[in-house]
Each structure stands twice: as structure tokens, then as C-alpha cells.
């Protein structure tokens, strides 16, 4: 199966929601997981709940110096094996309220953060001769053009483009780079936002009924970062009960 025994993993934005479920799935598959989040108390609480040697650390994914230090600490003897770029803001904002400040905050948090961590992690993997992997969490909102999140949709499109480009750049080192595009998921963040009211409409579009759960995404991520997906790179895997048909 998808054993991650002996692998070192970092999951960003993993204090709650989809990131926490990913951290749990990787830890249960045998990986040593660092749960990185701007909410350090939440990251430590998530690590304690997950167990399996998981560790919670405070790190703002938009700050290159903090991210570089976090990754060096996580690497211990050279490099991590798995980076999951999950941290992001999931806004619900009418188009008429989207101004430059919002746009820049979302591009910074949801797209530039992916560059910052991927730059450092793949440099470390190459220096250590490690055939690691990067997994980016994008969104099916990129395909659907989902309302009330225009900057978010643009940032996630950037994540998809960067996934394709970085896969090309680091493939020669045996480093794989893929993305997952979840549909609407009942995460902690969504439950506390107006997105929670969208399930009825989204379920109408899905091929299968039901509210997507963080674990539904985590299981696919655990596969993609495992050796079982060793011949997959540059791909975006859509996980949304069939809402989007690619
Ligand atoms: P969430 O809001 O429940 O959790 C996001 C986490 O990211 C929080 O713990 C938060 O503290 C952290 N975070 C935010 N900014 C950060 C920063 N600058 N540095 C470090 N950590 C930061 O979100 P979620 O719903 O679990 O979403 C997780 C991922 O899945 C995101 O990339 C999101 O875009 C994506 N996604 C979510 C859905 C959905 O419906 N929930 C759908 C598609 C994609
Ligand atoms: C279809 O990524 O993909 C709501 C909130 N609805 O964050 C998302 C859909 C949301 C989505 C998303």
C-alpha cells in the first residue's frame, strides 16, 4: 500500500481543516510530520491529537525567513521528503468588495507562499540528493470560476500553473510535483464561513451526493506523495464527487 515509513513531511496550514487531515493521514502512513501554521497553538494541539511523533510549529507561510528556518529545522539531517503546501485563506467576498489590498493579500498567502516553501524545500532535496515530492492544494474553484472568491480563483490558477512548471524544472532530480483540486469540503474554516451555505448548490452539481470531508482529500494526498504515484508528476488530481468533469 502507500507506506510513508521513514519519510519526513511538512504540511503547512495544518492546525485545522484539510491540512490537519493530511497531517493525520501522512502520520498514520508512517511519516514523521511537522504541522506548520501561523496559529502555533493550534498546530501544537493538532500534533498532540494526531500523535505518531507529529510536531506543531509556528510559521507564517508568507514570510520567507520563517519558512526557511521551519524547513531547516524539519529537515534535521539534510532534507524533508514531502512538502504539502496547504496553507491558504479561503475568502467569501463579493466582487464589488475586491480591492487591491485584498487581491495582494490573497496572492501572497495562497500563491507566493507556495513558491517560497517550494523554492527552499526542493533546493534542500537537491543538495541532499533526496528524491522528494511537493504536493500543492489548489481548488476546483479554478475550473468552476466559483463566485465570491475571484482573487482566490486566480491564485489557485497560479498554483496549478506553478505545479506544472516546477515539475518540469525539478523532474531531472527525481523530484515529483503534483496538485490536488478539492471541491467544497466541510473543513473547520468552511464550517465557520458563508461557504457552509453552498453545500446544497454544490451537491446538485456533484455526481454523488454528500458533503466532502477533509479525510476525502487526505487519502488522495497520501497516495500522491507515496512511491505508488512514482510515475506521476505535473498533474492536478480533482477530488470533488464529480462536480467538475475534466
Ligand atoms: P481552513 O481555513 O480550515 O484552514 C486553513 C489553515 O491555514 C488555518 O489553520 C490557518 O491558520 C492556516 N493559515 C492561513 N494563513 C496562513 C499563513 N499565512 N501561514 C500559515 N498558515 C496559515 O482551510 P481549509 O478549508 O482546510 O483549506 C485548506 C486548503 O484547501 C487551502 O489551500 C484551501 O484553499 C483548499 N481548499 C479548500 C476547500 C474547502 O472547501 N474547504 C476547497 C478547495 C480547496
Ligand atoms: C466549489 O475552494 O472549490 C466553495 C470555498 N465552493 O473554497 C473552495 C467550491 C469553496 C470550492 C471552494
CB of 34 closer than 6 angstroms to any ligand 1 atom:
no
3-state secondary structure of 182: strand
- Whose cell is 491529537? That residue is 49
**Exposed / middle / buried, residue 63 (Cβ in 10 Å: 0-12, 13-18, 19+):** middle
Give me the helices (H) in the chain, please: 17-28, 40-50, 64-75, 100-107, 113-127, 141-144, 150-170, 188-191, 199-205, 214-224
pLDDT above 90 for 2: no
State ipTM: 0.99
User: What's the pLDDT score for residue 125?
Assistant: 98
Query: Is 0.95 surpassed by the pTM of this model?
Result: yes
Ligand nearest to the CA of 214: 1
pLDDT recorded at residue 159: 99
144: how many CB neighbours lie within 10 A of its CB? 17
> What are the pLDDT digits (tens) for 21-31?
999 999 999 99
- What local confidence, expressed as pLDDT, does residue 104 receive? 99
Ligand positioned closest to the Cα atom of 145:
2
pLDDT confidence tier of residue 183, bands split at 50, 70 and 90: very high
pLDDT at 77: 78
Best residue for ligand 2 mutational test, from 149, 154, 187, 214 (most atoms within 8 Å of Cβ): 149
Q: Is the CB of 81 under 6 A from ligand 1?
A: no
Examine the residue annotation and report whether 152 is marked as an active-site residue of this protein.
Answer: yes
- Cα 103–chain centre separation: 20
Cβ neighbour number for residue 58 with a 10 Å cutoff = 16
Task: Determine which residue's CA is closest to atom 10 belonging to ligand 2.
Answer: 184
What is the position in ligand 1's atom list of the atom closest to the CA of 214?
A: 26
Amino acid at each position: 500500500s502507500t507506506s510513508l515509513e521513514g519519510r519526513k513531511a511538512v504540511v503547512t496550514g495544518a492546525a485545522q481543516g484539510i491540512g490537519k487531515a493530511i497531517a493525520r493521514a501522512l502520520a498514520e502512513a508512517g511519516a514523521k510530520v511537522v504541522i506548520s501554521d501561523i496559529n502555533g497553538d493550534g498546530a501544537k494541539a493538532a500534533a498532540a491529537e494526531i500523535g505518531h511523533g507529529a510536531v506543531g510549529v509556528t510559521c507564517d507561510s508568507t514570510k520567507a525567513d520563517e519558512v526557511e528556518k521551519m524547513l531547516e529545522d524539519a529537515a534535521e539531517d539534510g532534507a524533508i521528503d514531502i512538502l504539502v503546501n496547504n496553507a491558504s485563506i479561503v475568502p467569501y467576498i463579493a466582487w464589488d468588495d475586491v480591492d487591491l489590498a485584498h487581491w495582494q493579500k490573497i496572492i501572497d498567502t495562497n500563491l507566493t507562499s507556495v513558491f517560497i516553501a517550494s523554492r527552499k524545500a526542493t533546493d534542500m532535496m537537491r543538495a541532499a540528493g533526496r528524491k522528494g515530492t511537493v504536493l500543492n492544494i489548489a481548488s476546483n474553484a479554478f475550473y468552476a470560476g466559483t463566485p465570491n472568491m475571484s482573487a482566490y480563483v486566480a491564485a489557485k490558477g497560479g498554483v496549478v500553473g506553478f505545479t506544472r512548471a516546477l515539475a518540469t524544472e525539478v523532474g531531472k532530480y527525481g523530484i515529483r510535483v503534483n496538485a490536488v483540486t478539492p471541491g467544497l469540503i466541510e473543513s473547520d474554516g468552511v464550517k465557520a464561513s458563508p461557504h457552509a451555505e453552498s453545500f446544497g448548490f454544490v451537491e446538485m452539481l456533484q455526481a454523488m451526493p454528500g458533503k466532502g470531508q477533509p479525510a476525502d482529500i487526505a487519502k488522495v494526498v497520501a497516495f500522491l506523495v507515496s512511491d505508488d504515484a512514482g510515475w506521476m508528476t505535473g498533474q492536478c488530481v480533482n477530488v470533488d464527487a464529480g462536480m467538475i468533469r475534466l
